[in-house]
């Protein structure tokens, strides 16, 4: 079953806690983004976990080194998923996978910045990560047209092509897709059969502005989540 992950990358502490209160029961996973982790630390993760013990929390720690210490602290704070950068040394990823198994959690590998996505996917899959994440940002920007040039993409590899290359090399890990996903373009994303779909502004914002009603936010989450579960 594909799961819906709500990404929270901006906001004041009370706003993030309020969003967790509102969205519990409407999403599968709540992501504490890297900017919020830097601003509020793992205390925010602990507070949300204590209030919502059944809600999975993904901590976007973007680990590159110090895998043992950082990973343990994240899981002890209540994380279910911790992220590592794909170009982190293999030993760091092994350490993180080891601790994830100790705590009953999971490691998600972020493929941003990787030139040979297919090759590295096979490597991190063999190391035991549970999810491999591809950003779909350029896909949404170019309206799924693979013939359009990827202006601004330093690797000249469009997101759909990169996601296909990643999917092809996954044996054990699941595919996670995120950035720019909303109710309108969800069907395009579902073609790749991801295990996790990450949505942020597609739930809590409209036309670049925050939605004014909590009802609309939960409706959007429920709609996307239902489609994910139905597609599984």
For 124-174, the pLDDT digits (tens) are 999 999 999 998 764 444 433 333 434 433 334 466 677 887 888 999 999
Q: How far apart are CA 226 and CA 79, in angstroms?
A: 24
- Which residues 6+ apart lie within 8 Å of 136 measured at CB? 159, 163, 177, 178, 179, 180, 181, 189
pLDDT-based confidence at 8, cuts 50/70/90?
Answer: confident
| Structure confidence by residue, pLDDT tens digits, 112-127 | 888 888 899 999 999 9
Selection from 30, 76, 19 nearest residue 54 by Cα: 30
Mean pLDDT of 86-108: 97
pLDDT-based confidence at 218, cuts 50/70/90?
Answer: very high
Selection from 149, 102, 146, 148 nearest residue 128 by Cα: 102
Determine the straight-line distance between the first and last CA of the chain, rounded to whole angstroms.
Answer: 5
Give, as one character, the DSSP assignment of residue 153: -
Q: What is the pLDDT of residue 155?
A: 35
CATH superfamily of 3-231: Aldolase class I (3.20.20.70)
pLDDT over 90 at 45, yes or no: yes
Cα dist from 93 to 3, 18, 58, 166, 205, whole Å: 23, 33, 17, 18, 34
Selection from 116, 129, 118 nearest residue 196 by Cα: 129
């Amino acid at each position: 079953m594909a799961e819906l992950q709500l990404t929270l990358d901006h906001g004041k502490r009370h706003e993030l806690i309020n969003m967790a209160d509102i969205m519990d029961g409407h999403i599968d996973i709540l992501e504490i983004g890297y900017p919020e982790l830097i601003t509020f630390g793992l205390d925010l993760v602990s507070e949300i976990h204590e209030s919502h013990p059944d809600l999975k929390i993904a901590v976007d720690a973007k680990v590159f080194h110090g895998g043992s210490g950082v990973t343990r602290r994240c899981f002890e704070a209540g994380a279910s998923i911790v992220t590592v950068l794909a170009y982190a040394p293999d030993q760091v990823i092994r350490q993180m996978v080891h601790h994830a198994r100790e705590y009953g959690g999971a490691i998600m590998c972020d493929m941003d910045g990787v030139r040979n996505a297919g090759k590295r996917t096979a490597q991190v899959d063999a190391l035991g990560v549970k999810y491999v994440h591809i950003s779909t940002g350029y896909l949404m920007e170019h309206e799924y047209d693979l013939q359009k040039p990827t202006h601004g993409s330093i690797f000249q590899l469009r997101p759909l092509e990169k996601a296909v290359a990643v999917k092809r090399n996954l044996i054990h890990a699941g595919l996670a897709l995120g950035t720019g996903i909303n109710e309108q373009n969800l069907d395009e994303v579902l073609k790749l059969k991801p295990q996790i779909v990450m949505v942020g502004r597609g739930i809590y914002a409209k036309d670049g502005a925050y939605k004014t009603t909590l009802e609309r936010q939960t409706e959007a989450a429920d709609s996307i989540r239902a489609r994910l579960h139905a597609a599984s």
